[in-house]
Amino acid sequence: MESRVDGRRKKKKKKWRKRLLLILLVIILVLVGYGVYVFVETKAALNQSQIDIGRKGDKSELRKDGVTLGKDPISILLLGVETYATKGKSGRADTEIVITMDPDTKDLTMVSVPRDTRVSIDNAGQYTGIHKINSAYYYGGITDYGPVKLQVETVEGLLDIPIDKFVAVGFDGFRDIVDALGGVDIDIKKGFWEKNIYNHNKRIYFKKGEAHLNGEEALAFVRMRKRAVNATYSRDERQRQFLKATINQAVSAGTIFKVGQITDILGEHVKTNLTASEIYALEKRFSTINKSSIKTIKIAGQDKVIGQTSYYIADRDSLEEVSQKLRRSLGLKPDSQFTTNADTVGQ
């Protein structure tokens, strides 16, 4: 026969099992509820951030078929837009980084497009002609074509690849996002200084070695263009270095709990054609990306002064090589007849 003690023990076990199940149920409900909250909050912010650049079927003209984010390899153009010199009006795309993402291999490839690259800009009305590539955003903004559309199409023409999505961030948004993420850790390869545009142009000094940068410092780090330092530690290299560090920070476990701060920034300072569901699909696929999966490509070339204007003259062979690598990462066939809008000045 079962003793009274054994009976009481069994009753206690059943109670604890019920309590444990209840606790697990509460945890699951909290997590699901928080996930819904994150999605709703992000969606609301993105509704303010989203812009339509007028593409037929919402796809690049360089693609036959559309792509599904989270399933197909895609390309995203990241734009850091400088508007402080124009008092918030149409500025220039000071930072241009093309990223390709393969959801199957979880490989991420990125190339930084030098802002001074000499190209032919089409569809810019009376301004159509040879300019620095970062001017496309400005000329698109003062014509009916649209700043983002003209910038996206100009980058497509340079690299001969489709650009599927874009994210344009103003300098204020850049600073605030870095601060919301808790800053970024950068291994500074060479010391230098840069003006702080938020503090009366006072100097921010960067020493060689590991450093934790806040938003203002990170912006100065990627903006610095001093020729003496750029010879050995280029602006494009610093941009790629910063982006790697930011990706590592963004996928950290604690970032999701900062959704309130980040969504506020999204609505005010970010423009994109990514939807909330597309961002969710990308997050599911790439939230566990490793540093070794991030590859960087450089566009070779040289600085050259033409008619009192300093340009970056991209090497045509390098552009073709970069284009073919990006096409492979997008699952596209190599282009047997590579074309580019770059003005390579006699190459």
Gap between the Cα atoms of 95 and 178, Å rounded: 16
Which domains does the chain carry?
A: 50-329 (3.40.630.190)
pLDDT of the chain, 347 residues: tens digit per residue: 556 555 556 555 566 665 666 656 655 555 444 444 455 555 665 666 778 888 888 899 999 888 998 899 999 998 888 865 555 556 788 889 899 999 888 888 989 899 999 999 999 999 999 999 999 999 998 888 899 999 999 999 999 999 999 988 888 888 888 888 888 899 999 999 999 988 989 999 999 999 999 999 998 998 887 655 666 788 888 888 888 887 777 665 455 445 555 666 666 678 888 887 787 788 777 777 777 788 889 999 999 999 899 999 999 999 999 999 999 999 998 888 899 999 988 67
Q: b/e string for 284-302 if b means 16 or more Cβ within 10 A?
A: ebbeebeeebbebbebebe
The whole-model pTM stands at 0.79
Amino acid 40: pLDDT: 54
Residue-level pLDDT at 212: 95
- For CA atoms 159, 54, 266, 257, the dihedral sign is negative
pLDDT confidence of residue 257: 45
Residue 115 near residue 132, CB atoms below 8 Å: yes
If one counts every other C-beta atom within 10 angstroms of the C-beta of residue 20, the result is 10
Task: Tally helices (H) and strands (E) across the chain.
Answer: 10, 14
Phi/psi at 220 (nearest 5 deg)?
Answer: -65, -35
Alpha carbon separation from 274 to 18, 59, 69, 299 (Å, rounded): 44, 12, 10, 27
pLDDT of residue 216: 93
Alpha helices in 50-183 (DSSP H): 135-141, 147-159, 171-180
Q: Decide if 302 contacts 313 (C-beta within 8 A).
A: yes
Query: Which single residue is written with the structure tokens 């696929």?
Result: 285
Q: Are 150 and 139 in contact (CB under 8 A)?
A: yes
Which tokens sit at 267? 């609505």
Query: Which residues 6+ apart lie within 8 Å of 90 measured at CB?
Result: 83, 137, 138, 140, 141, 142, 147
pLDDT on residue 237: 85
Helix (H, G, I), strand (E, B) or coil at 175: helix
Q: What is the DSSP letter of 190?
A: S
